[in-house]
Chains A and B, each alone.
Chain A
Amino acid sequence: MVFSTEPVVSVKDTTIYQKHNMVLTDVYFDIRKGEFVYLIGRTGSGKSSLLKILYADLPLYSGDVQVADMQLFNIAKKQIPFLRRKIGIVFQDFQLLTDRTIADNLFFAMKATGWKDSSKMKQRLSDVLLKVGLGSVGNKMPHQLSGGEQQRVVIARALINEPAILFADEPTGNLDPQVAEEILALFIQINHSGTAILMGTHNHHFLEKHPSRVLKCEKGKLLDSAVQAFDYKNIY
């Protein structure tokens, strides 16, 4: 794969806090366009906090973080929606709107990000559902789908605005191994079409099956397999 040199995510000299506790210090890393990066580490090691910083769900107190050309330090609340339009977020707990159908979930995300033309919206709806391998689920409610299907819908939602990068926080944490691998395959497929991916995971089978760059949160530091070799084979 050929990576362009422009970073989508650039983190320099950053400290990550969870509430008032420091969880990671001296964090430096870049993610380039089209890269596939795993983020691993024990529960509580700061993985989720780092991801939340990157999609501005946690405030950045110190450091220099740029995501999709936006500076996150002291980012104005009003700017956050515009940041989130340039990125896609996939959650472990799906975060679908449980009160409406799959189609309405995706339409909501479109309308919220300024889509107006209903025929274009319908077109995009079938495009993204097709991309994640779901056909006729538009009229179903989220709870009528299996976990794997729900996660596919979440990925479809994240893809709506053709993001430069997908942040996924343990996207397969709630799924059985078989389905988890299908979801991984989906992420790889999306990555091949040029979208960078940063995936937090506990699943070391993924790293064997699809080796790629790894960031590891350990003892308050972030290790980067692109900078130094470290052992990530025997993680939980």
Chain B
Amino acid sequence: MADVPHYKKKKLGAYPYLSVVLSITTALFVLGIFTILLIDARKIAQAVQENLEIQLFLNNAITDNEKLQLELPLTEKHYIQQEANQPTYSYISKEEAAKELTNQLEEDFQDLLGENPLKDSYVIRLKANYYQPTQLQKVEQDLENLNGVVDVAYPRSLAKDMTENIATISFILFSFALFMSIIVIVLIHNTIKLALFSQRFIIRTMQLVCAKNSYERKQLLKTAAWQGINSGVLAFGFLWAFIAYAESQLEELQALHPIEMLLVIGLSLIGIGVLISVISSFRAVNKYLAMSLDELY
């Protein structure tokens, strides 16, 4: 057989492996971009929320000792942001507050009033999920009940607007991602259905040369699984390149995309690719296996 050159041209009637892989890759890539967009949006929203400060104004009459005693209940509040497992809060004395206000006003208001009307305060930040209006009210009440606290202050309307805006944006993004996922699934499903439609006579011929249905199914599903894996890996590669480019343009983005997160997304893309590919192939193959010749035409 040495005299026959090996045939390398596109094989006529072969399973359109490359087209299918490219279609699935595109679909998975778009899905990946959206997942990352969704995660980024959540992270940014969380960061914005966590920057919101809450001030606890203290009774002028309480002693330094009582002030220190206040710190213990503060460390026990689970809703306060933590750093290295320690709740973070800072103490601002009324003198410091006055200095800051004077700087802001560029005028010494104490001269005008003859005294410092400000109060000592603790400044805390909440964990992101305590910024819901109902949660915030509970937190506020809880803080006001602390001995020595006279007032709890935070930019109320800002907190409210922020929560509402984030909810709206999250909802829109999420619906869009859901919609995208459905499109991706339908697209992959149809691509595979068409690819196997082009193979229906080959499937029948295989039956005629005494292949068991289970054998044919196994062969075709193996192909499907591989095309899912290849598409997932390709999509992940493109996604990685895309993010690397975005990060080179905008360095702040780097903090948003830890490598573990990208790897999880990559593995998910591969998993989704394999799952949809195999399920779609399974359905299509079974259909053609069960068809008689007349139905195939």
From B30-38, B79-87, B206-214, B241-249, the one touching the partner chain is B206-214
Q: Within residues 81 to 133 of chain A, which ones have a CB less than 8 A from any CB in chain B?
A: 81-82, 84-85, 89, 91, 95-101, 108-109, 111-113
Q: How large is the interface on B (under 10, 10 to 19, 20 to 34, 35 or more residues)?
A: 20 to 34
Distance (whole angstroms) from the CB of A209 to the closest CB of chain B: 29
Q: Within residues 2 to 44 of chain B, which ones have a CB less than 8 A from any CB in chain A?
A: 3-7, 11-15
Q: Does A140 contact B (CB under 8 A)?
A: yes
A84-B208, A96-B205, A97-B206 are contacts. A138–B12 as well, Cβ < 8 Å? Answer: no
Q: Within residues 57 to 101 of chain A, which ones have a CB less than 8 A from any CB in chain B?
A: 57, 77-78, 80-82, 84-85, 89, 91, 95-101
Least CB separation from B205: chain A residue:
A95
Least CB separation from B294: chain A residue:
A19
Q: How large is the interface on A (under 10, 10 to 19, 20 to 34, 35 or more residues)?
A: 20 to 34
- Is the CB–CB distance between A98 and B206 below 8 Å? no
Q: Does A193 contact B (CB under 8 A)?
A: no
- Is the CB–CB distance between B210 and A143 below 8 Å? no
- Is the CB–CB distance between A140 and B13 below 8 Å? no
- Is the CB–CB distance between B209 and A144 below 8 Å? no
A98-B12, A99-B13 are contacts. A84–B209 as well, Cβ < 8 Å? Answer: yes
Q: Does B101 contact A (CB under 8 A)?
A: no
| Chain B contacts for A78, CB-based, 8 A | 212-213
Question: Complex: how many Å from CA A138 to CA B6?
Answer: 10
- Is the CB–CB distance between B211 and A98 below 8 Å? no
Question: Complex: how many Å from CA A112 to CA B294?
Answer: 24
Partner of A99 from B3, B6, B15 at Cβ < 8 Å:
B15
Q: Does A157 contact B (CB under 8 A)?
A: yes
Distance (whole angstroms) from the CB of B37 to the closest CB of chain A: 40
A→B interface (CB under 8 Å) = 19, 55, 57, 77-78, 80-82, 84-85, 89, 91, 95-101, 108-109, 111-113, 136-141, 143-144, 157, 161
B→A interface (CB under 8 Å) = 1, 3-7, 11-15, 199, 202, 205-213, 215-216, 293-294
User: What are 24 A-B interface contacts by the 8 Å CB criterion?
Assistant: A19-B294, A55-B208, A78-B212, A81-B207, A81-B212, A81-B213, A84-B208, A89-B208, A89-B209, A95-B209, A97-B202, A97-B205, A99-B202, A100-B11, A100-B14, A101-B7, A109-B209, A111-B215, A112-B209, A112-B211, A138-B1, A139-B1, A140-B4, A161-B210
